[in-house]
Amino acid sequence: MNYESLSFIFLNAVLANNFVLALFLGLCPFLGVSGKLNTAVPMGLATMFVMLVSSVCAYGINIVLVGLDIEFLRLIAYIVVIASAVQLVEMTLKKFSPGLFRALGIFLPLITTNCAILGLALFQTFKEYDFLQSLVYALGAGTGFILAIMLMAGMREKLELSNLPSVTQGAAVSLMLGGLLSLSFMGFAGLGGQ
Amino acid sequence: MRKQDNTITWDTFSEGLWRENPVFAMLLGMCPVLAVTNSAINALAMGVATTFVLLASGVLISLLRRQIPKQVRIATYIVIIATFVTIVDYAIQAISLDLYNALGAFIQLIVVNCMILGRAEAYASKNRPLKAFVNALGMGAGFTFALLCLGVVREVLGAGKLFGVDLFGPQFEPWVVMVLPAGGFIVLGAWLLLFEWFKQRKAQSESDAVVEVR
């Protein structure tokens, strides 16, 4: 397979194949935590951090699994690693930065079931990225997630002040907004060049 | 021992279908809902696969509910779910490679479908296997129904086809955006609007009825 340059991988993950808006990964926090900007940003940062950690771990584990010829355990191994990575991040933060830990609160454990993280680990395995490529891919995916959740939170904050018909209150209007955002991100499709 | 209500009623099954529909009412498991519903057949396959994992993990967790220590229950549930997802993954790969390629990583991502973990935590770990089975069946049916709702609309509008059969003939200009990611968000938003409208109209007619009685 041809070698993809690092800048291509990064831009592709941030814009053309944005994890949230084009690949539909990590929608739960995207819809759930995007109510306000000052909760959306820490959530995005925490997710990006876990993405980096689990990407590195998944890379190592995959080498072991392939070496032992037990690839069918990949899914189970990945999910356990992600759950432990989240747990580890939680404990480290609690010890070294209690302020940030309190700010993130319940969102931190919920990152385990964020499909963007498992998706990232699986995609980098399918695409056979090497170590540096995996790292850049995780960085790009995380940046893309932050970008999407921040844009969404900004729009929803504006929406609070506007006068909506009663039926559109709640999730429906957020989804419509997500649709428009996704539509505008389609404009970046040419950048990736597939 | 804690007292349990072991009677299985129609409600055990039907709450997942409509009142607590995982997609339309609770907004759980959204990622596969939007990602694989660009055609009706993909939606159906995804629904069946998810239902299988829901049923198998529900029954197993319910059987083991007294053995699983409380502190590590979430990790245990995840490992049980991941095992069944691996089975489904290999089964689909064996049955139809086309389908496997169309669904892509989303079969493996059933593991992190929050609906399954939510049901395990909220229902299977508290009820007897048979009851958990019936409830999981209802939830799975409701999930499949919701996926089909989206898949049918998106395939008809976006490709002019239904289950791969051409509906409108060559003159039809497909509304391509509907099978693209943006269409998924918009169609689901539209369905939610419709359900919200039904709900409000029902509430309205009920409050009108109360006024008339007085």
Q: Give the model confidence (pLDDT) of B82-106 as tens digits.
A: 899 999 988 988 988 888 888 877 8
Q: From CA A169, how far away is CA A165, in angstroms rounded?
A: 7
Q: Which residues contact B125 (CB under 8 A, 6 or more apart)?
A: B61, B62, B65, B68, B73, B77
Minimal C-alpha gap between B185 and chain A (Å) = 5
Contact A173 B189 (CB under 8 A): yes
Per domain, the residue ranges of chain B are: 13-213
Q: Give the model confidence (pLDDT) of A69-117 as tens digits.
A: 887 888 888 888 888 888 877 788 788 878 777 766 666 777 777 788 8
User: Within an 8 Å CB–CB cutoff, is residue A26 touching chain B?
Assistant: yes
Q: From CA B44, how far away is CA B145, in angstroms rounded?
A: 8
Preferred mutation among A20, A30, A76 to probe B, highest tally of B CBs within 10 A:
A76
Question: Is pLDDT at B193 greater than 80 in this prediction?
Answer: yes
- Count the neighbouring beta carbons within 10 Å of the beta carbon of residue B142: 27
Q: In this complex, which of B28, B105, B197 lies closest to A123 when CB atoms are compared?
A: B105
By C-alpha distance, the chain B residue nearest A126 is B105
Q: Give the model confidence (pLDDT) of A35-67 as tens digits.
A: 778 778 878 888 888 888 888 888 888 888 888
Q: Give the model confidence (pLDDT) of A140-176 as tens digits.
A: 999 999 999 899 888 888 888 877 777 677 777 888 8
Q: Give the model confidence (pLDDT) of B121-154 as tens digits.
A: 888 888 888 888 888 888 899 889 888 888 888 8
> B146-174 as b/e, with b when 16 or more CB fall inside 10 Å?
bbbbbbbbbbbbbbbbeeeeeeeeeeeee
pLDDT score for A194: 45
pLDDT score for B52: 92
Q: Give the model confidence (pLDDT) of B23-56 as tens digits.
A: 777 777 777 788 888 888 888 888 999 999 999 9
Q: Give the model confidence (pLDDT) of B74-86 as tens digits.
A: 778 888 888 999 9
Q: In this complex, which of A24, A31, A118 lies closest to B184 when CB atoms are compared?
A: A24
Question: Is pLDDT at B186 greater than 80 in this prediction?
Answer: yes
Question: Is pLDDT at B3 greater than 50 in this prediction?
Answer: no
Task: Please classify residue B31 by burial: count the beta carbons closer than 10 Å to its beta carbon, then call 0-12 exposed, 13-18 middle and 19+ buried.
Answer: buried
Q: Give the model confidence (pLDDT) of B158-173 as tens digits.
A: 877 777 777 777 777 7
At B138, is the secondary structure helix, strand, or coil? helix
Question: Is pLDDT at A137 greater than 60 in this prediction?
Answer: yes
Minimal C-alpha gap between B31 and chain A (Å) = 5
Contact A113 B114 (CB under 8 A): yes
Q: Is A169 left (phi over 0), alpha (psi -120 to 50) or beta?
A: beta
User: Within an 8 Å CB–CB cutoff, is residue A88 touching chain B?
Assistant: no
Helices (H), chain B: 10-17, 30-35, 40-63, 73-95, 97-103, 114-119, 129-159, 181-213
Preferred mutation among A24, A81, A169 to probe B, highest tally of B CBs within 10 A:
A24
pLDDT score for B53: 92
